[in-house]
Structure 1
Amino acid sequence: MARFTEASLAHLYESIDIVDVITQYIDVRKVGANFMALCPFHDDKTPSMSISAIKGLYHCHACGASGNAIRFVMEYERLSFHDAAQKIAALFNVVLAYEKGYVETKKTNLLPSLALFYHNNLFKHNDMLQYLFSRAINEDSINEFEIGYSGNSYDTLRFLDEQKLSRKEAVEYGVLTQGNDRDYARFANRIIFPIHSSTGVVVGFGGRTLSADKNVAKYLNSPQSKVFNKSKILYGYHLAKQMIYKQKSIIVCEGYLDVIMLHQAGFKNAVATLGTALNEGHLYLLNKDNPRIYMCYDGDNAGINAAFKAAKFLSQNSKDGGVVILKDGLDPADMIAQNKIELFKDALNNAMPFVEFVLRHIIKDFDINNPMQKQNALKACKEYLHTLTPFLQDEYKQKCASLLQISPIYLDTKNQKTNHIEMPKDSTNNFAEESILYNMLEHKEHFYLAINFLTKEHFQTYRHEFQLICNQDYDNDRIYALRFKTKAKILNDEEFKEQLRIFLLQYAQDMLPKIAISPIESSLKFQQIKALHENIAKLKRGELVSVGMV
């Protein structure tokens, strides 16, 4: 089997994002500077796999599995290095060159070639070009976003055949459909918006018809394929990401035209979902560098309902940002086209925080002048608030009470489900356990760090609570008691790491006399004591290490 050239592989590594690769197979979450996931290479119950986008590497702290993007695909799909590299190259439309001098082009250039054909074709159809101009889209934007026109079905088929591009692959990628023993272009007589991966590779298309036929869908996206998953793609992200990192903010819209017009007006951090609700699949992009998120959906009822779902989802994931309220049912593209840029800026600057927006949206469905309906509204608000962190619950208690025109005491969860739980008496060790658990509840970063080093055996008083937290059973009475009766404070990253180190050091030192009197074989006892002393030395030097039970 021919080998890839070193330059070709180097180009592949430069073109891919390991997070993009791994999220094709498993769900990941951003934790600090890295991403965490349940390791697929062992029976992982809590996220043990760390993924570094900067280093391009993954590592499982439990089973030791590690490597780069190609190694991950090799292990996950049981593929050879050659096949795994080919699969990733196809995913990112990268051409791999071989030492023997030939180039593997299979499954790599069909979509980019077609995008270029559509783009060039647009300038041959003045009516389509004039339509875009009538929507205030200028030629620079047309070129930047590679907007095109498909022409009729025959135009696409002829291009594929002339370029010797496989019709079979075109079907796989959703470019062609089949019926009555014939091939048809999926995107016929449509303005084309190429859809790119986060690294800038064409992975699919969106098409808009200008037909007045109500039986024809106005917008049409590529179907799911090996390279296209609309639930994990944000339109325009490849163009917006540098500005997102620079401004520490991202504007999320609904449609292609919204993004194009916002970029044209200078809002270069705008992206759009692709006809799907914001979901877990989008989080890894939204988590990169932790930007403030502005949800900017249309001002009509459908847009407001979509914004409600997005705001609820983002607040439950502790994301910072707010919902941009556009008046008179306008969408961002309309505002820019009507030269209402300053009004849009004002709306952006006055975005309503996610939690407040959700609370207001819940309450509007009730007549709070009716005591029974007000009580139902209170119940609905409390159910939502309980899905947030305790800190956010406490912060928004007063706001919720104000919106409902009631006393905050009715939102005080300290009096709920906790009175019969007896908390252990304070001691130095009890408080250390309590503080660690409280911070695990308050911060996902602290949670993921702690579970890499702790098991329930490390806890004497709060062993059951630790297990409940690991199982994410936050509605248990013991967790309510821990949250609302603790005297522990929220720690920053360095403070929590230091507390965890001291806790492990104390545990290790306590283990020494227990091992000394344990009825185990002498040579094994010696090995355990030696290992424990080594771990104690590392902990004293400031390192975090796992310290297990005898």
Structure 2
Amino acid sequence: MSVFEEIRQRLDIVEVLSEYLHLKRVGNSYSTNCPFHPDDTPSFYVSPSRQIWKCFGCGKGGDVIKFVSEYEGISYLEAAKLLAQRYNLDVDFGDEEKGERFHSALGKIAFFYGEELKNSSIAKEFLLKVRKLPAEVVQDFNLGYAGDGFKSVEFARREGIFDELLELKHFFLTPYGRYRDFFHQRITIPVRNILSKIVGFGGRSLSEEQKPKYKNSLSSEIFQKDKTLFGIERAKNYLRDRGFLIIVEGFFDVIRLHSVGLGNSVAPLGTALTRHHARVISKLTSKVVLLFDGDTAGRRAVLNASKELLKFPVEVWVALLPSGQDPDSFVLQNGIKALRNLLSSAKPLKNLLIESVKRASPDRREAYLRLFKEIVSEISDPISRELWIKEFRDQTGLNPFGKTKTVAVRKIEPPPELSKWEVDFLLGLLYLSPDLNLEEFKLSSKARELAEKILKGENKDRLPPWLFQIDTLGLEKRFSLAVEMLSVEKPLLEETFKKLFHLEKKIKEGKASSEEFNRFRKLLSALEEGEKRLYKWYKEKVQTL
């Protein structure tokens, strides 16, 4: 039995979901308004007998772990761990014990840094007077100071966490044979994962002579900077009320925005926004505001970030700061009201690109056309892509793709060893970013290999080209149906649909016998309401093949 199956068996889905939602009993099930989409009439149902939930409005559904994953905006594995912790379930996650030792060690060294900060007038002056951070904000974000880098090593030995921190590359061996802290003489900024556990640190130098100005923990089993967003553990709690995520460029930008009430803000860790970042963001929100410097570098960062975000169902808006300013300095100089006004004046990226073309001189227009084509080619949804092109054409009188009215997409057939359900399943993993446990699905070895690569966030060049060139129209419905079809719990459902479709076709053609007509009615009446909806989607899919 897998650890996920053990958790599902030991928990009651109604009890768990009642902690999040007000459930009302309806017959043998429970219902309420769906928390994942605007829902005036209850379309969210929970089945105690089958220990599953399903929304017949937006199509989402799954087990108790899947619900927590969707609601909290965390992965399936993280949701399982959260439930095990919350309900005191003694289950074995394999390497979990080692991971907890790492998190514990980082938490203890963060405490040491906090104590060192109290004893350093230089470090305190930098945070309180130079950066002008309130003392309570410094404490809230657990900011610290690594000191000379030798005392922290001694502390780690005393606390019995030296080996863990050494394995995390937190200490290094000097040419003189002594171990020293990687962040010596730097302000330390704890970096947490979405479950609020410390996975690494950012370090800020205290002088211009100390290079680089910022450095991050080195990659380890629990930390990769290209997959981590600073502030994500706080921001996820604000998103349900705010409805959009603010992306900025630095640690102190996030800290400043959170301190003035804009808790829905995050930043990558000194690197460009990656595809993995975009995937995580798309799980949490459908709208992003990029709040970057208005200079050339900032505008370039906007375009690069947008190319990654538009690969997922995310709407990109842009608010550009005055040249030479970042959110931190802007708030200090102009106040939070001015920043809120700036955010309220943010514009969709599409509008900014169109305005740039309309304002451009004839000799610059071609460059903007090329830029628009680059951005549009990254949009995964073909309908959104066409809408961008239509609006561009209507407002500028130009067709960025010449005489062609659509973006040319090479039609590449997927490998023949993959079923149509597996193809839709893989496309859904890539573009819809769901949190799924692959153990719950019956996949061929080829499909499982690709699914694992997608879930790991492999780069585009390590995935087959057809995944990015095949049609994704109506993907949400296609993916929902694929999930049901490939579920190990419903191996006979597809066969039932095939029989129903064959019988229905004969009935419509007037070729069915009375026995076949009665058989069709029995099969159809045996389906649950959700399965009838799936059958309807199945028919639509088969008829388009």
> What is the CA–CA distance in structure 1 between the aligned matches of 2:407 and 2:193, rounded to whole Å?
47
Give the total of aligned pairs. 412
- Identity among equivalent positions (%) equals 23
Q: Which moved more, 1:298-307 or 1:119-128?
A: 298-307
User: What is the DSSP-based 3-state SS (H/G/I as helix, E as strand, rest coil) of the residue aligned with 1:195?
Assistant: strand
Contact residue 315 and residue 354 of structure 1 kept, 8 A: no
Unaligned runs of 5+ in 1: 1-5, 15-31, 34-48, 59-64, 71-80, 94-105, 419-436, 454-469, 484-489, 516-527
Q: Structure 1 residues 220, 395: closer, same or farther in 2, change over 3 A?
A: same
Contact residue 508 and residue 536 of structure 1 kept, 8 A: no
Residues 128-527 of structure 1 mapped to structure 2, 5 A cutoff = 128-134=123-129, 135-165=131-161, 167-180=162-175, 181-213=177-209, 216-357=211-352, 368-370=361-363, 374-375=365-366, 377-388=368-379, 389-397=381-389, 399-401=391-393, 405-408=396-399, 413-414=404-405, 472=466, 508-512=499-503
Q: CA deviation at 1:313?
A: 1.8
Q: Tell me which amino acid in the other structure corresponds to 2:159.
A: Q
> What is the CA–CA distance in structure 2 between the aligned matches of 1:540 and 1:188, rounded to whole Å?
63
Are 2:531 and 1:543 aligned?
Answer: yes
Q: CA deviation at 1:193?
A: 0.5
Q: Structure 1 residues 380, 505: closer, same or farther in 2, change over 3 A?
A: farther
> What is the CA–CA distance in structure 1 between the aligned matches of 2:466 and 2:64, rounded to whole Å?
25
Contact residue 191 and residue 199 of structure 2 kept, 8 A: yes
> What is the CA–CA distance in structure 2 between the aligned matches of 1:529 and 1:472, rounded to whole Å?
42
1:88 to 93, 96, 112: 96
User: What is the DSSP-based 3-state SS (H/G/I as helix, E as strand, rest coil) of the residue aligned with 1:85?
Assistant: coil
Q: CA deviation at 1:448?
A: 12
Contact residue 372 and residue 400 of structure 2 kept, 8 A: no
Contact residue 145 and residue 194 of structure 1 kept, 8 A: yes
Q: Structure 1 residues 280, 51: closer, same or farther in 2, change over 3 A?
A: farther
Q: Structure 1 residues 57, 374: closer, same or farther in 2, change over 3 A?
A: closer
Q: Deviations over 1:178-231 (max 9, x none)?
A: 2444322101010110111111111111111112326x2111100111111222
User: What is the DSSP-based 3-state SS (H/G/I as helix, E as strand, rest coil) of the residue aligned with 2:237?
Assistant: helix
| Partner residue in 2 for 1:467 | none
Q: Structure 1 residues 354, 241: closer, same or farther in 2, change over 3 A?
A: same
> What is the CA–CA distance in structure 1 between the aligned matches of 2:203 and 2:192, rounded to whole Å?
14
Q: Tell me which amino acid in the other structure corresponds to 1:88.
A: E
Contact residue 287 and residue 315 of structure 2 kept, 8 A: yes
Q: CA deviation at 1:275?
A: 1.3
TM-score by length of 1: 0.61
User: What is the DSSP-based 3-state SS (H/G/I as helix, E as strand, rest coil) of the residue aligned with 2:310?
Assistant: helix
Q: Structure 1 residues 213, 56: closer, same or farther in 2, change over 3 A?
A: same
Q: Deviations over 1:133-160 (max 9, x none)?
A: 1211010100110000110021111211
Contact residue 317 and residue 349 of structure 2 kept, 8 A: yes
Q: CA deviation at 1:445?
A: 6.2
| Partner residue in 2 for 1:423 | none
Q: CA deviation at 1:312?
A: 2.2
Q: Structure 1 residues 337, 417: closer, same or farther in 2, change over 3 A?
A: closer
1:123 to 118, 121, 127: 118
Q: CA deviation at 1:397?
A: 2.9
> What is the CA–CA distance in structure 2 between the aligned matches of 1:293 and 1:414, rounded to whole Å?
28
Residues 45-56 of structure 1 mapped to structure 2, 5 A cutoff = 55=67
Q: Structure 1 residues 56, 340: closer, same or farther in 2, change over 3 A?
A: closer
Q: CA deviation at 1:235?
A: 1.0
User: What is the DSSP-based 3-state SS (H/G/I as helix, E as strand, rest coil) of the residue aligned with 2:179?
Assistant: strand
User: What is the DSSP-based 3-state SS (H/G/I as helix, E as strand, rest coil) of the residue aligned with 1:328?
Assistant: coil
Q: CA deviation at 1:177?
A: 1.3
Q: Deviations over 1:74-113 (max 9, x none)?
A: xxxxxxx99953522443x3xxxxxxxxxxxx44521100
Q: Structure 1 residues 341, 261: closer, same or farther in 2, change over 3 A?
A: same
Q: Tell me which amino acid in the other structure corresponds to 2:132.
A: A
Q: Tell me which amino acid in the other structure corresponds to 1:117.
A: F
TM-score by length of 2: 0.62
| Partner residue in 1 for 2:58 | none
Bigger Cα Rg: 1
Contact residue 118 and residue 150 of structure 1 kept, 8 A: yes
User: What is the DSSP-based 3-state SS (H/G/I as helix, E as strand, rest coil) of the residue aligned with 2:124?
Assistant: helix
> What is the CA–CA distance in structure 1 between the aligned matches of 2:319 and 2:393, rounded to whole Å?
23
RMSD of aligned C-alpha atoms?
5.2
> What is the CA–CA distance in structure 1 between the aligned matches of 2:362 and 2:368, rounded to whole Å?
11
Contact residue 250 and residue 269 of structure 1 kept, 8 A: yes
> What is the CA–CA distance in structure 2 between the aligned matches of 1:176 and 1:409, rounded to whole Å?
53
Q: CA deviation at 1:291?
A: 4.7
Q: Structure 1 residues 183, 415: closer, same or farther in 2, change over 3 A?
A: closer
Contact residue 246 and residue 266 of structure 2 kept, 8 A: yes
Q: CA deviation at 1:127?
A: 1.9
Q: Deviations over 1:449-474 (max 9, x none)?
A: 9xx99xxxxxxxxxxxxxxxx98567
Contact residue 292 and residue 302 of structure 2 kept, 8 A: yes
| Partner residue in 1 for 2:107 | 112
Q: Structure 1 residues 243, 143: closer, same or farther in 2, change over 3 A?
A: same
> What is the CA–CA distance in structure 1 between the aligned matches of 2:406 and 2:279, rounded to whole Å?
37
Q: CA deviation at 1:164?
A: 2.7
Q: Structure 1 residues 309, 85: closer, same or farther in 2, change over 3 A?
A: same
User: What is the DSSP-based 3-state SS (H/G/I as helix, E as strand, rest coil) of the residue aligned with 1:208?
Assistant: strand
